Every structure is written in structure tokens, then in C-alpha cells.
Amino acid sequence: MICGKIAAGKSTLAAELTARTGSIRISEDAWLACLYRDEQKTLEDYVRNSRRLREVMGDHIVTLLEAGLSVVLDFPANTPASRQWMRGLFERAGANHQLHFLDVSDDVCKARLRARNAAGTHAFNTSDAEFDLFTRYFVPPSRDEGFEIMFHGESKTTPSIRFSS
């Protein structure tokens, strides 16, 4: 599971984790772009479409975990509610977990976002105003949520591990 603001590097980290561990990566952005590309105009559209995707993918992800496969869930674990959904998946499957938290400043995220938009390398272009809107809902993970958290800063150094209880 990966937590971080827009353009913090969640998908980049997900790809690195997948390559390093031979895991299966499931990307919310890829699925949303394929299924709802023309329906992704507002925050409300994203919330609705993300909910639809989670409803259909939940049992599939649990099945993969129950089969002993490692899954890199490239969905934003950016709110307590989204993390609770993810917790339900690994708990139902009886699987271990790690929550990777990308702690990246707004300025760095916006610079990366602008570069990504200019390069056209992402399925969705996001403006600074949309970044600010989405970021208002961002809640970093807290110790009382009980996740094994791997912290990543802006420097792309090896993550530090902190266990929450």
C-alpha cells in the first residue's frame, strides 16, 4: 500500500517495488484511465469512479493474496477510510502488509506534477488548483492506525521502517 500526495512518486515506487519483489502491481490510475477516462473531470467523478473500482477489485485482490501472491496496491492510501478498505483486504486474506508513506512537500509535488503534465506521461493531467483541492483531503497515516509503515522522504533514499501498534 502506498500513501502520498499527487506526484509524490507513488506509482514510481510501486513500479520499483514490483520489479524488485516480483509482485503483482494493481494500479488505480491505469484502471480508471481505461474504464472512465472521459468521466474523470472533477473530484466527485474521481470519488465515484474510485469507489466503483474498489467494489469490483476487492474480492479479486483478496483472492490473489489468499493464493500467496504479493500485491503492490498502487491505489492512494491517502485517507483513513481508504487505508481501512485496504486493511480489510489483507486481513480477509490473512496476509502481511507494508504501508509505504511518501512524505514529500507540496512544492516538490507541484514541480513534479508540472513536469509530468508537460511530458504527457500520465493518464490524467492535474492542475495546481486540483492538486490543492485533493491535498485538502490528504491525511498522513498515524501510529494508532496500526500499520507497518515504511517512510520515504523527498531524497529517494532507503526508507526507514517504523512499526505502528
pLDDT score, position 5: 95
- Cell reading at 12: 514510481
- Cell reading at 19: 520489479
% residues pLDDT > 90 (the chain): 69
Q: Are 50 and 40 in contact (CB under 8 A)?
A: no
pLDDT score, position 162: 46
Question: What are the tens digits of pLDDT across the range 53-63?
Answer: 999 999 999 99
Locus of grid cell 499527487: 6
Question: Using 50, 70 and 90 to split pLDDT, how confident is the model at 154?
Answer: confident
How far apart CA 12 and CA 125 sit, in angstroms, is 16
Residue 5, SS3 per DSSP: coil
- Cell reading at 113: 506534477
Total tally of structural domains belonging to the chain? 1
- The CA R_g of the chain, rounded to the nearest whole Å, is 15
Question: What are the tens digits of pLDDT across the range 79-136?
Answer: 999 999 999 999 999 999 999 999 999 999 999 889 888 877 766 777 888 889 889 9
Which CA distances in Å does 86 have to 99, 105, 111?
10, 25, 29
Expressed as residue numbers, the domain containing 121 is 2-163
| 52 C-beta neighbours (distance < 10 Å), count | 15
Residue 81's CATH number: 3.40.50.300
